[in-house]
Amino acid sequence: MARFIFITGGVVSSLGKGLASAALGALLQARGYSVRLRKLDPYLNVDPGTMSPFEHGEVFVTDDGAETDLDLGHYERFTGVPARMTDSVSSGRIYSNVLEKERRGDYLGKTIQVVPHVTNEIKEFLTIGEDEVDFMLCEIGGTVGDIEGLPFFEAIRQFSHDKPRGQCIFMHLTLLPYLSASGELKTKPTQHSVKELQSIGIAPDILVCRSEQPIPEKEREKIALFCNVRKESVVAAYDLKSIYEAPLAYHDQGLDQAVLDAFQISPAPKPDLSRWYDVKDRIENPEGEVRVAIVGKYTQLEDAYKSIAEALTHGGMANRVKVRQEWVDAEIFDREDPAPHLEGFDAILVPGGFGERGTEGKIKAAQFARERRIPYLGICLGMQMAVIEAARNVAGLEDAGSEEFDHEAGKKRFTHVVYHLKEWVQGNEKVVRKKTDGKGGTMRLGAYDAVLKEGSKVAQAYGRLDIDERHRHRYEVDIQFREELEKAGLCFSGMSPDGRLPEIVEWPDHPWFIGVQYHPELKSKPFDPHPLFRDFVRAAKDAALLV
């Protein structure tokens, strides 16, 4: 039966709970334990699938088709454990489940209340798969004191009492602000945060204190005394040059040992951190640099493309180069020639997105990469824009476009090279979708198989012909234009097993130009870079050497 670690935060948001959770999971794995990480979010959205990337960053998609918080991406990247639908839940999902049960009569006419019905639903969620791993790490979104988070805090308080003594511990992240005027680290915000946590019945076992400055021994002792924790359980979390230094940094500060001590596990297995020393070496000792332009429409917020940024870093590590990522607003190309903005880059990446805004700029970016023979990777919408560019400028379909854009405009303007995906096969069942369906969870979501063309660049990258990758899209390249596009030279190098849905396109006569309908970035890890990002960065490296 799993031991549970509940990770909470206080003082301010964005302290790095997700990163701390992921790093701790990696450290426990290094000691030979199996782990699973979960995220409990207090917002009322059923999931983040309908949120703007400006609101919540990217949506991370699991193999089984869940749209989840981006922290699950951190969990996967650090532990290699594929996230599942049962690893993410929001207040919206919890309340929705409770209300569905009430409507069915499952509560036998009782008055439905936050305690015990909502808290019981949360506790049921926590127990899913508890017999599968040694440690279950559960991160609570938001900060202690947030009104919307109270049901979750009450649920984990109850849960810890329901379990045998010593099976649950609490880890609390706080901020130690540094006042430069007085040259002091201030512990009072941490004290107040812990006091708030204690007032709802939770006493932290471990404090992780985010600080820009080293924590003096005197201040560490003060925190331990006033927050009622052992001095060894006050762990410093300093700013890092790379998030992938976190496992080693937290190990040096004694986080994993503090956790094992809190569970009274002795003697503690020795950790094997060779994987993370290799990752650190590849980050700190690159043998060159490449410049990659990411042409998108959410460039003001890097979290909107978090997994892409990390996958490029992984590709750089695989090739021993530093990837300098530069964000280019696609809308600029609606008004200006892309050449002055894209010249000098070693590669161009066009990521996914929804809606027509910025798409003409993305099409021009694909054209620039094709004509200038610059390595190009188009993901989801980036693939669709590359196909539309090929249709317009090579195959002679000058009015080629997407049904998505006509749907927004309310009138037909284009020949629909890209169309609304009405049906597809998921497992052994046919899924049917209409444009009038609600937006939440109505896309082609999760892992689907694809068959690659022998001898293609993608087949060379993967080293096999059968793959499965994660999808998140409503629109699809129309197979009826395949013959015209292939006559123009574009190769459909990956198809769904039934041959109906294009998964990958590439230009065979180009050094490296590939578009994929799926999201390969979601499966990339620092110790196991995704094959497409590995080869994309390699192509960028080759391009840089030619200059």
Residues labelled as active-site residues: 380, 519, 521
Nearest alpha-carbon partner for 382 in 408, 346, 347: 347
What tokens appear for 110 in the block? 């009782």
Collect all residues with Cβ–Cβ distance below 8 Å to 327 and sequence separation of at least 6.
Answer: 294, 296, 299, 302
What is the rounded CA–CA span in Å between residue 404 and residue 475? 7
Residue 206 gets which letter from DSSP?
E
List, in sequence order, every residue forming a beta bridge with 185; answer none if it has no partner. Answer: 178
Contact 103, 35 (CB under 8 A): no
Q: Taking each helix axis as running N to C, give the angle between helix 71-79 and helix 17-30, from 0 to 180 degrees, rounded to the nearest 10.
A: 20
Query: Which pairing describes strands 347-350 and 322-329: parallel, antiparallel, or unpaired?
Result: unpaired
Residues 6+ apart with CB under 8 A from 343: none
Neighbours of 206 (CB within 10 A): 24
CB atoms under 10 Å from CB of 289, counted, come to 14
Closest CA to 317 of 537, 80, 513: 537
Which H or E element spans position 293? strand 289-296
Q: Report residue 391 as tokens.
A: 């249709």
Structure tokens at 313: 């870093």
**Which residue type sits at 353?**
G
The angle subtended at Cα 104 by Cα 100 and Cα 105, nearest 5°, is: 115
* HSE-up (13 A, CA, CB side) for residue 1: 7
Task: Collapse the DSSP code of 106 into the 3-class scheme (helix H, G, I; strand E, B; otherwise coil) and give the result.
Answer: coil
